[in-house]
């Protein structure tokens, strides 16, 4: 059985590759250097040659609030094309199992907390990343449509905010977790006595190490078969200000933290209800303090 991991060099994809290697399952990992999933013909041709039994789709254009807010066309158009080409090609080549990675931004901005799977499409989305959210919602719906029309055993998973090795640490376009790590480390090296961070620090977020995500995806691949997307997270959140304090401690920064309140905060709170995935026997094993330490060490060694 050959498993194809799309987006294999990214944050989530590389973790899935590590986990498949660890448990000894045969797989092929691809990135945009191997096949351009924006090219429909190239995608169909590649899958026709490989004929995988299973596809795990971690391929996407991703970014933080600034990138999503600045480039909504690219985030909507490119993600819809990437996932649609891959899903349609998977049907054409009779792929038995497909795991589509969505995002917790699919849920309404002012959602009851913790967020249950059934809360999807019950309210307005966060405006700063609504284009990306719509793309991911379209992917979930396409998976459901193929299940309904062709009885495919395909599923969608919804990870919370991810972090870990191979993240994007760009200060302008990355997510909050890697951006904070880089900013604290660089500010400490510059010997500045203060650091300026975006927003108010008040939004609450949940963070999951990608190695825990990878294990959860294998559990879902082997044990989950339903129309409804399934949440993957820790069920524990904290404020961005609290996260910043942890980052400061782990990077050795002892100066003052200033908040640039002209920058947008995004969704006020986002923590997932993870009862469905824990009922399958999975639970996260890397707590946030340990995960920050591991990621800071990885950044210092690799960046």
- Does residue 55 fall inside a structural domain? yes
**DSSP state, residue 2:** P
Residue 117, in any domain of the structure: yes
Residue 176 lies in a domain: no
CA torsion sign, 210 to 102 to 82 to 49?
positive
Q: What is the mean pLDDT of residues 72-95?
A: 97
Residue 112 lies in a domain: yes
pLDDT one-digit tens code per residue, 281-296: 999 999 999 999 999 9
CB environment 134-143: b (16+ within 10 A), e (fewer): bbbbbbbebb
Q: What is the pLDDT of residue 13?
A: 98
Q: Is the pLDDT of residue 64 over 80?
A: no
Determine, yes or no, domain membership for 199: no
In terms of pTM, does the model score above 0.85?
Answer: yes
Give the containing element (helix H, strand E) for 303. none
The domain tally of the chain equals 1
174 confidence band (pLDDT: 50, 70, 90): confident
Q: Which of 46, 107, 132, 224 is catalytic?
A: 132
> Within a domain: residue 263?
no
Domain assignment present for residue 253? The answer is no
Q: Give per-residue pLDDT as tens, 129-167.
A: 999 999 999 999 999 999 999 999 999 999 999 999 999
Q: How far apart are CA 197 and CA 200, in angstroms?
A: 8
Q: Is residue 264 a part of any domain in this protein?
A: no
- CB-based contacts of 22, cutoff 8 Å, min separation 6: none
Asked about 163 being catalytic, the answer comes back as no
- The residue segments making up the domain with residue 152 are 3-167+206-236+271-286
Average pLDDT of the segment spanning 94-101:
98
- Model confidence over 207-261: pLDDT tens digits? 999 999 999 999 999 999 999 999 999 999 999 999 999 999 999 999 999 999 8
Q: What is the CATH number of the domain that holds 17?
A: 3.40.50.720
């Amino acid at each position: 059985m050959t498993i194809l991991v799309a987006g294999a060099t990214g944050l989530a994809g590389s973790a899935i590759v590590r986990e498949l290697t660890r448990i000894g399952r045969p797989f092929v990992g691809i990135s945009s250097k191997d096949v351009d999933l924006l090219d429909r013909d190239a995608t169909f041709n590649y899958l026709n040659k490989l004929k995988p039994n299973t596809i795990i789709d971690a391929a996407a254009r991703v970014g933080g609030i600034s990138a999503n807010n600045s480039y909504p066309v690219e985030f909507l158009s490119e993600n819809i094309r990437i996932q649609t080409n891959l899903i349609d090609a998977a049907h054409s080549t009779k792929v038995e199992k497909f795991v589509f990675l969505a995002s917790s931004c699919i849920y309404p901005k002012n959602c009851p907390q913790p967020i249950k799977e059934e809360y999807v499409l019950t309210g307005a989305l966060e405006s700063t990343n609504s284009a990306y959210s719509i793309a991911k919602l379209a992917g979930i719906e396409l998976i459901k449509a193929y299940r309904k029309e062709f009885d495919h055993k395909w599923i969608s998973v919804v990870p919370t905010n991810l972090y870990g090795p191979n993240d994007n640490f760009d200060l302008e376009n990355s997510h909050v977790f890697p951006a904070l790590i880089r900013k604290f480390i660089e500010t400490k090296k510059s010997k500045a006595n203060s650091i300026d961070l975006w927003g108010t620090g008040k939004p609450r977020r949940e963070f999951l190490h990608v190695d825990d995500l990878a294990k959860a995806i294998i559990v879902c691949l082997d044990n989950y078969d339903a129309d409804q997307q399934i949440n993957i997270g820790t069920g524990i959140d904290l404020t961005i200000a609290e996260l910043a304090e942890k980052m400061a401690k782990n990077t050795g920064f002892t100066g003052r933290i200033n908040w640039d309140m002209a920058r947008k905060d995004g969704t006020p709170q986002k923590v997932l209800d993870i009862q469905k995935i824990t009922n399958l026997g999975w639970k996260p094993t890397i707590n946030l303090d340990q995960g920050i330490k591991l990621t800071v060490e990885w950044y210092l060694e690799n960046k």
